[in-house]
Protein backbone atom coordinates (compact mmCIF):
# COMPACT_ATOMS: atom_id res chain seq x y z
CA UNK A 1 0.00 0.00 0.00
CA UNK A 2 1.43 3.43 -0.89
CA UNK A 3 2.63 5.48 2.06
CA UNK A 4 0.80 8.65 3.06
CA UNK A 5 3.80 10.80 2.07
CA UNK A 6 4.33 8.98 -1.25
CA UNK A 7 2.09 10.78 -3.77
CA UNK A 8 2.39 14.56 -3.98
CA UNK A 9 -0.32 16.90 -2.72
CA UNK A 10 -3.00 17.73 -5.29
CA UNK A 11 -5.85 20.18 -5.60
CA UNK A 12 -8.40 17.37 -5.29
CA UNK A 13 -8.31 13.68 -4.43
CA UNK A 14 -11.17 11.57 -5.76
CA UNK A 15 -11.94 8.43 -3.72
CA UNK A 16 -13.60 5.47 -5.40
CA UNK A 17 -14.33 2.07 -3.83
CA UNK A 18 -14.89 -0.74 -6.33
CA UNK A 19 -16.19 -4.27 -5.97
CA UNK A 20 -16.64 -6.46 -9.06
CA UNK A 21 -16.97 -3.34 -11.18
CA UNK A 22 -15.22 -4.59 -14.32
CA UNK A 23 -18.31 -3.86 -16.41
CA UNK A 24 -18.41 -0.14 -15.57
CA UNK A 25 -15.21 1.03 -13.91
CA UNK A 26 -13.19 2.06 -16.97
CA UNK A 27 -15.90 4.44 -18.14
CA UNK A 28 -16.14 5.91 -14.64
CA UNK A 29 -12.38 6.32 -14.28
CA UNK A 30 -12.09 7.99 -17.67
CA UNK A 31 -14.82 10.48 -16.71
CA UNK A 32 -12.67 11.41 -13.68
CA UNK A 33 -9.40 11.64 -15.61
CA UNK A 34 -11.12 13.82 -18.24
CA UNK A 35 -11.80 16.59 -15.71
CA UNK A 36 -10.96 20.07 -16.92
CA UNK A 37 -9.25 20.59 -13.56
CA UNK A 38 -6.35 18.20 -14.04
CA UNK A 39 -4.53 18.55 -10.70
CA UNK A 40 -6.16 15.49 -9.18
CA UNK A 41 -5.44 12.06 -7.81
CA UNK A 42 -7.85 9.14 -8.13
CA UNK A 43 -7.51 6.72 -5.21
CA UNK A 44 -9.28 3.57 -6.40
CA UNK A 45 -9.71 0.83 -3.80
CA UNK A 46 -10.42 -2.58 -5.27
CA UNK A 47 -12.42 -4.17 -2.46
CA UNK A 48 -11.40 -7.79 -3.02
CA UNK A 49 -13.05 -8.10 -6.43
CA UNK A 50 -13.21 -11.51 -8.09
CA UNK A 51 -13.61 -10.20 -11.64
CA UNK A 52 -11.22 -8.09 -13.71
CA UNK A 53 -11.50 -4.88 -11.67
CA UNK A 54 -7.90 -4.97 -10.38
CA UNK A 55 -6.46 -5.66 -13.85
CA UNK A 56 -8.40 -2.76 -15.38
CA UNK A 57 -7.16 -0.39 -12.69
CA UNK A 58 -3.58 -1.59 -13.21
CA UNK A 59 -3.85 -0.94 -16.93
CA UNK A 60 -5.32 2.52 -16.37
CA UNK A 61 -2.48 3.28 -13.97
CA UNK A 62 -0.02 2.49 -16.75
CA UNK A 63 -1.81 5.04 -18.93
CA UNK A 64 -2.16 7.78 -16.31
CA UNK A 65 -0.11 8.10 -13.11
CA UNK A 66 -2.95 10.05 -11.50
CA UNK A 67 -4.65 6.69 -10.91
CA UNK A 68 -3.55 5.22 -7.59
CA UNK A 69 -5.01 1.70 -7.28
CA UNK A 70 -4.87 -0.49 -4.21
CA UNK A 71 -6.38 -3.94 -3.67
CA UNK A 72 -7.58 -4.98 -0.21
CA UNK A 73 -9.52 -7.97 1.16
CA UNK A 74 -13.27 -7.54 0.77
CA UNK A 75 -14.62 -5.48 3.64
CA UNK A 76 -17.32 -3.28 2.19
CA UNK A 77 -17.39 0.30 0.88
CA UNK A 78 -16.99 1.93 4.29
CA UNK A 79 -13.68 0.20 4.97
CA UNK A 80 -12.54 0.82 1.39
CA UNK A 81 -13.22 4.55 1.68
CA UNK A 82 -11.48 4.71 5.06
CA UNK A 83 -8.39 3.08 3.56
CA UNK A 84 -8.43 5.66 0.76
CA UNK A 85 -8.76 8.52 3.25
CA UNK A 86 -5.60 7.29 4.97
CA UNK A 87 -3.82 7.49 1.60
CA UNK A 88 -4.70 11.10 0.77
CA UNK A 89 -1.44 13.04 0.37
CA UNK A 90 -0.76 15.65 3.03
CA UNK A 91 -1.51 19.14 1.71
CA UNK A 92 -4.35 18.06 -0.60
CA UNK A 93 -7.05 20.76 -0.62
CA UNK A 94 -10.28 18.97 -1.53
CA UNK A 95 -11.90 15.54 -1.52
CA UNK A 96 -14.63 14.08 -3.67
CA UNK A 97 -16.17 10.60 -3.67
CA UNK A 98 -17.37 8.67 -6.70
CA UNK A 99 -18.93 5.23 -7.09
CA UNK A 100 -17.39 2.86 -9.62
CA UNK A 101 -20.47 2.76 -11.86
CA UNK A 102 -21.35 6.47 -12.03
CA UNK A 103 -20.12 9.41 -14.11
CA UNK A 104 -18.72 12.88 -13.46
CA UNK A 105 -19.36 15.70 -15.90
CA UNK A 106 -16.03 16.94 -17.37
CA UNK A 107 -16.21 20.19 -15.37
CA UNK A 108 -17.58 18.71 -12.13
CA UNK A 109 -14.46 19.40 -10.06
CA UNK A 110 -13.76 22.83 -11.50
CA UNK A 111 -17.42 23.85 -11.08
CA UNK A 112 -17.45 22.79 -7.43
CA UNK A 113 -14.05 24.29 -6.58
CA UNK A 114 -14.56 27.56 -8.45
CA UNK A 115 -17.89 28.17 -6.71
CA UNK A 116 -16.99 26.83 -3.27
CA UNK A 117 -15.80 30.15 -1.87
CA UNK A 118 -14.65 29.43 1.65
CA UNK A 119 -17.15 26.58 2.17
CA UNK A 120 -16.02 23.44 3.97
CA UNK A 121 -18.72 21.36 2.27
CA UNK A 122 -20.26 21.84 -1.18
CA UNK A 123 -23.55 20.14 -2.07
CA UNK A 124 -23.98 19.85 -5.84
CA UNK A 125 -27.04 18.86 -7.77
CA UNK A 126 -27.08 15.37 -9.28
CA UNK A 127 -29.10 13.32 -11.72
CA UNK A 128 -30.27 9.71 -11.65
CA UNK A 129 -30.38 7.80 -14.93
CA UNK A 130 -33.04 5.10 -14.57
CA UNK A 131 -32.94 1.74 -16.37
CA UNK A 132 -35.82 2.85 -18.64
CA UNK A 133 -33.76 5.82 -19.87
CA UNK A 134 -35.61 8.48 -17.90
CA UNK A 135 -33.67 10.98 -15.83
CA UNK A 136 -34.50 12.55 -12.48
CA UNK A 137 -32.64 15.64 -11.28
CA UNK A 138 -32.14 16.73 -7.67
CA UNK A 139 -30.90 20.22 -6.87
CA UNK A 140 -31.52 23.37 -4.87
CA UNK A 141 -30.81 27.02 -5.76
CA UNK A 142 -27.29 28.33 -5.26
CA UNK A 143 -26.65 29.50 -1.71
CA UNK A 144 -24.03 29.87 1.00
CA UNK A 145 -24.82 29.03 4.62
CA UNK A 146 -23.01 29.50 7.90
CA UNK A 147 -23.65 27.53 11.07
CA UNK A 148 -25.93 30.41 12.11
CA UNK A 149 -28.01 30.46 8.90
CA UNK A 150 -28.14 26.77 7.91
CA UNK A 151 -31.03 25.83 10.22
CA UNK A 152 -33.98 27.18 8.17
CA UNK A 153 -32.64 25.47 5.01
CA UNK A 154 -31.75 22.12 6.56
CA UNK A 155 -35.15 20.50 6.10
CA UNK A 156 -35.39 21.64 2.49
CA UNK A 157 -31.94 20.24 1.68
CA UNK A 158 -32.84 16.96 3.37
CA UNK A 159 -36.09 16.57 1.46
CA UNK A 160 -34.28 17.49 -1.77
CA UNK A 161 -32.18 14.31 -1.29
CA UNK A 162 -28.92 16.26 -0.96
CA UNK A 163 -27.88 14.90 2.45
CA UNK A 164 -28.11 11.15 1.90
CA UNK A 165 -25.16 10.31 -0.36
CA UNK A 166 -21.44 10.84 0.06
CA UNK A 167 -20.94 11.39 -3.67
CA UNK A 168 -21.93 14.55 -5.56
CA UNK A 169 -20.21 16.72 -2.96
CA UNK A 170 -16.90 18.51 -2.45
CA UNK A 171 -15.19 18.43 0.93
CA UNK A 172 -12.37 20.52 2.31
CA UNK A 173 -9.75 17.86 2.99
CA UNK A 174 -8.87 19.53 6.27
CA UNK A 175 -12.49 19.18 7.47
CA UNK A 176 -12.35 15.40 7.05
CA UNK A 177 -8.72 14.59 7.78
CA UNK A 178 -8.04 16.93 10.70
CA UNK A 179 -11.17 15.67 12.44
CA UNK A 180 -10.34 12.05 11.56
CA UNK A 181 -13.85 11.61 10.16
CA UNK A 182 -14.39 8.08 8.97
CA UNK A 183 -17.21 5.86 7.72
CA UNK A 184 -19.03 3.57 10.10
CA UNK A 185 -19.19 0.01 8.80
CA UNK A 186 -22.92 -0.58 8.43
CA UNK A 187 -22.80 -1.95 4.85
CA UNK A 188 -25.79 0.33 4.13
CA UNK A 189 -26.66 3.90 5.07
CA UNK A 190 -23.22 4.94 6.30
CA UNK A 191 -23.11 7.75 3.71
CA UNK A 192 -25.62 9.92 5.52
CA UNK A 193 -23.93 9.45 8.90
CA UNK A 194 -20.67 10.67 7.35
CA UNK A 195 -22.47 13.68 5.85
CA UNK A 196 -24.00 14.51 9.24
CA UNK A 197 -20.53 14.40 10.84
CA UNK A 198 -19.30 16.84 8.18
CA UNK A 199 -22.30 19.15 8.63
CA UNK A 200 -21.74 19.24 12.37
CA UNK A 201 -18.15 20.45 11.88
CA UNK A 202 -18.53 22.64 8.79
CA UNK A 203 -18.21 26.38 9.27
CA UNK A 204 -19.77 27.10 5.88
CA UNK A 205 -21.86 25.03 3.47
CA UNK A 206 -22.34 25.91 -0.21
CA UNK A 207 -25.18 24.64 -2.41
CA UNK A 208 -24.70 24.54 -6.19
CA UNK A 209 -27.62 23.82 -8.54
CA UNK A 210 -26.00 22.28 -11.61
CA UNK A 211 -26.16 18.49 -11.80
CA UNK A 212 -22.56 17.45 -12.41
CA UNK A 213 -22.78 13.93 -10.96
CA UNK A 214 -24.77 11.19 -12.69
CA UNK A 215 -25.90 8.23 -10.61
CA UNK A 216 -26.70 5.32 -12.92
CA UNK A 217 -29.36 2.80 -11.94
CA UNK A 218 -28.87 -0.54 -13.64
CA UNK A 219 -31.65 -3.14 -14.08
CA UNK A 220 -32.34 -4.84 -10.77
CA UNK A 221 -30.56 -2.14 -8.75
CA UNK A 222 -33.60 -0.36 -7.37
CA UNK A 223 -33.53 0.09 -3.61
CA UNK A 224 -37.04 -1.35 -3.51
CA UNK A 225 -35.56 -4.77 -4.40
CA UNK A 226 -33.03 -4.87 -1.55
CA UNK A 227 -33.62 -6.27 1.92
CA UNK A 228 -31.17 -5.60 4.74
CA UNK A 229 -31.90 -6.82 8.26
CA UNK A 230 -30.23 -3.83 9.96
CA UNK A 231 -31.87 -1.16 7.83
CA UNK A 232 -34.39 -0.02 10.46
CA UNK A 233 -31.64 0.20 13.07
CA UNK A 234 -29.54 2.40 10.79
CA UNK A 235 -32.51 4.60 9.87
CA UNK A 236 -33.28 5.14 13.56
CA UNK A 237 -29.67 6.04 14.30
CA UNK A 238 -29.55 8.46 11.36
CA UNK A 239 -32.77 10.08 12.55
CA UNK A 240 -31.35 10.53 16.05
CA UNK A 241 -28.27 12.16 14.53
CA UNK A 242 -30.45 14.45 12.42
CA UNK A 243 -32.47 15.36 15.50
CA UNK A 244 -29.19 16.38 17.17
CA UNK A 245 -28.30 18.48 14.12
CA UNK A 246 -31.67 20.21 14.38
CA UNK A 247 -30.75 21.23 17.93
CA UNK A 248 -27.27 22.22 16.78
CA UNK A 249 -28.60 24.56 14.08
CA UNK A 250 -31.68 25.81 15.94
CA UNK A 251 -34.35 24.08 13.85
CA UNK A 252 -37.67 24.44 15.66
CA UNK A 253 -40.07 22.61 13.33
CA UNK A 254 -39.04 18.99 12.78
CA UNK A 255 -41.95 17.86 10.59
CA UNK A 256 -39.73 17.60 7.50
CA UNK A 257 -37.32 15.35 9.36
CA UNK A 258 -40.05 13.14 10.81
CA UNK A 259 -41.49 12.90 7.31
CA UNK A 260 -38.17 11.70 5.91
CA UNK A 261 -37.72 9.19 8.73
CA UNK A 262 -41.15 7.69 8.15
CA UNK A 263 -40.39 7.35 4.44
CA UNK A 264 -37.31 5.34 5.41
CA UNK A 265 -39.52 3.15 7.64
CA UNK A 266 -41.82 2.56 4.67
CA UNK A 267 -38.78 1.45 2.66
CA UNK A 268 -37.80 -1.01 5.41
CA UNK A 269 -41.28 -2.53 5.39
CA UNK A 270 -41.55 -2.60 1.60
CA UNK A 271 -38.27 -4.48 1.09
CA UNK A 272 -39.65 -7.36 3.17
CA UNK A 273 -41.58 -8.23 0.00
CA UNK A 274 -38.70 -7.94 -2.44
CA UNK A 275 -37.50 -11.02 -4.35
CA UNK A 276 -34.20 -10.84 -2.46
CA UNK A 277 -35.86 -11.20 0.94
CA UNK A 278 -35.81 -14.86 1.99
CA UNK A 279 -37.74 -14.50 5.26
CA UNK A 280 -40.75 -16.72 5.83
CA UNK A 281 -44.23 -15.25 6.24
CA UNK A 282 -44.04 -15.55 10.02
CA UNK A 283 -40.58 -13.96 10.05
CA UNK A 284 -41.87 -11.06 7.96
CA UNK A 285 -44.73 -10.57 10.39
CA UNK A 286 -42.26 -10.51 13.26
CA UNK A 287 -40.19 -7.86 11.45
CA UNK A 288 -43.32 -5.79 10.83
CA UNK A 289 -44.28 -6.02 14.50
CA UNK A 290 -40.78 -4.96 15.49
CA UNK A 291 -40.92 -1.96 13.14
CA UNK A 292 -44.37 -0.61 13.95
CA UNK A 293 -43.80 -0.90 17.71
CA UNK A 294 -40.25 0.48 17.60
CA UNK A 295 -39.96 3.33 20.12
CA UNK A 296 -38.44 5.65 17.53
CA UNK A 297 -41.25 4.97 15.06
CA UNK A 298 -43.89 5.58 17.72
CA UNK A 299 -42.22 8.82 18.76
CA UNK A 300 -41.75 10.28 15.28
CA UNK A 301 -45.08 9.15 13.80
CA UNK A 302 -47.19 11.30 16.11
CA UNK A 303 -49.48 13.14 13.70
CA UNK A 304 -50.34 13.66 10.05
CA UNK A 305 -47.75 15.13 7.71
CA UNK A 306 -46.80 14.81 4.04
CA UNK A 307 -49.04 14.14 1.06
CA UNK A 308 -52.03 11.78 0.96
CA UNK A 309 -49.96 8.65 0.27
CA UNK A 310 -47.55 9.36 3.15
CA UNK A 311 -50.41 10.28 5.49
CA UNK A 312 -52.22 7.05 4.67
CA UNK A 313 -49.17 4.86 5.30
CA UNK A 314 -48.38 6.75 8.51
CA UNK A 315 -51.92 6.03 9.69
CA UNK A 316 -51.50 2.35 8.79
CA UNK A 317 -48.26 2.14 10.78
CA UNK A 318 -49.87 3.88 13.75
CA UNK A 319 -52.48 1.15 14.02
CA UNK A 320 -49.66 -1.30 14.86
CA UNK A 321 -51.87 -3.96 13.28
CA UNK A 322 -49.48 -6.51 11.79
CA UNK A 323 -51.94 -7.95 9.27
CA UNK A 324 -52.98 -4.52 7.97
CA UNK A 325 -49.35 -3.44 7.62
CA UNK A 326 -48.43 -6.74 5.96
CA UNK A 327 -51.11 -6.28 3.31
CA UNK A 328 -50.43 -2.56 2.81
CA UNK A 329 -46.70 -2.86 2.21
CA UNK A 330 -47.12 -6.00 0.13
CA UNK A 331 -49.30 -3.86 -2.16
CA UNK A 332 -46.71 -1.05 -2.15
CA UNK A 333 -44.05 -3.57 -3.21
CA UNK A 334 -46.29 -4.90 -5.97
CA UNK A 335 -46.93 -1.37 -7.21
CA UNK A 336 -43.18 -0.79 -7.24
CA UNK A 337 -42.68 -3.85 -9.42
CA UNK A 338 -45.51 -2.96 -11.82
CA UNK A 339 -44.98 0.83 -12.03
CA UNK A 340 -41.40 1.56 -10.91
CA UNK A 341 -41.26 5.04 -12.44
CA UNK A 342 -44.39 6.18 -10.60
CA UNK A 343 -43.17 4.77 -7.30
CA UNK A 344 -39.75 6.38 -7.78
CA UNK A 345 -41.41 9.77 -8.30
CA UNK A 346 -43.47 9.29 -5.14
CA UNK A 347 -40.43 8.08 -3.22
CA UNK A 348 -38.44 11.23 -3.98
CA UNK A 349 -41.34 13.66 -3.85
CA UNK A 350 -40.62 16.57 -1.52
On whether residue 51 sits in a domain, the answer given is yes
On whether residue 89 sits in a domain, the answer given is yes
pLDDT in tens, 166-224: 999 999 999 999 888 999 988 778 899 999 999 999 999 999 999 999 999 887 644 44
**How far from chain centre, in Å, is Cα 202?**
18
Q: Domain end: 216, 231, 261, which one?
A: 216
Round the average pLDDT of the chain to a whole number and report it: 92
Report the pLDDT value the prediction gives residue 346, as an integer from 0 to 100: 54
On whether residue 31 sits in a domain, the answer given is yes
Asked whether the predicted pLDDT for residue 103 surpasses 90, the reply is yes
Q: Are residues 66 and 156 in the same domain?
A: yes
Report the pLDDT value the prediction gives residue 132, as an integer from 0 to 100: 81
Over residues 300-315, the mean pLDDT reads 87
Report the pLDDT value the prediction gives residue 4, as an integer from 0 to 100: 45
Over residues 117-124, the mean pLDDT reads 97
3 state DSSP class of 312: helix
Over residues 140-162, the mean pLDDT reads 95
Q: Domain end: 216, 244, 265, which one?
A: 216
- What CATH code is carried by the domain that includes residue 211? 3.90.550.10
The pTM assigned to this predicted structure is 0.91
Over residues 6-20, the mean pLDDT reads 94
Q: Are residues 229 and 200 in the same domain?
A: no
Q: Are residues 16 and 152 in the same domain?
A: yes
Asked whether the predicted pLDDT for residue 345 surpasses 60, the reply is no
Q: Domain end: 216, 236, 255, which one?
A: 216
pLDDT band at 1 (very low <50, low <70, confident <90, very high): very low
Report the pLDDT value the prediction gives residue 5, as an integer from 0 to 100: 47
On whether residue 101 sits in a domain, the answer given is yes
Q: Are residues 256 and 277 in the same domain?
A: yes
Asked whether the predicted pLDDT for residue 42 surpasses 70, the reply is yes
pLDDT in tens, 243-258: 999 999 999 888 999 9
On whether residue 259 sits in a domain, the answer given is yes
Q: In terms of residue numbers, what domain contains 104? A: 12-216
| Contact call for residues 153 and 145 (beta carbons, < 8 A) | yes
On whether residue 50 sits in a domain, the answer given is yes
Asked whether the predicted pLDDT for residue 348 surpasses 80, the reply is no
| Contact call for residues 97 and 169 (beta carbons, < 8 A) | yes
E strand or H helix at 347 = helix 340-347
On whether residue 65 sits in a domain, the answer given is yes
Q: Are residues 340 and 193 in the same domain?
A: no
Report the domain count for the chain. Answer: 2
Q: Are residues 187 and 38 in the same domain?
A: yes
Cα atoms found within 13 Å of the Cα of residue 96, Cβ hemisphere only: 29
Report the pLDDT value the prediction gives residue 3, as an integer from 0 to 100: 43
Strands 12-18 and 204-216: unpaired
Q: Are residues 227 and 274 in the same domain?
A: yes
Q: How much of the chain exceeds pLDDT 90, in percent?
A: 80
On whether residue 106 sits in a domain, the answer given is yes
Amino acid sequence: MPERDGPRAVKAAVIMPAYNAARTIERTVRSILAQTMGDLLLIAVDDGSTDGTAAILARLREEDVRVLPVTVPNGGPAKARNIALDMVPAGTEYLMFCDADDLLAPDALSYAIDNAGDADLVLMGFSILNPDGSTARYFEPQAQYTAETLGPALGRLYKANLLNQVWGKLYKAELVLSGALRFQDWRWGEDRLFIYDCLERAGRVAVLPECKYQYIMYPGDSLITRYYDRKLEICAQADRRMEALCRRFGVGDERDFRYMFMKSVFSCLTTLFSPRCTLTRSEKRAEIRRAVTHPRVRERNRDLFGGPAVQTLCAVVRTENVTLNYLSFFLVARAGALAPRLVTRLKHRK
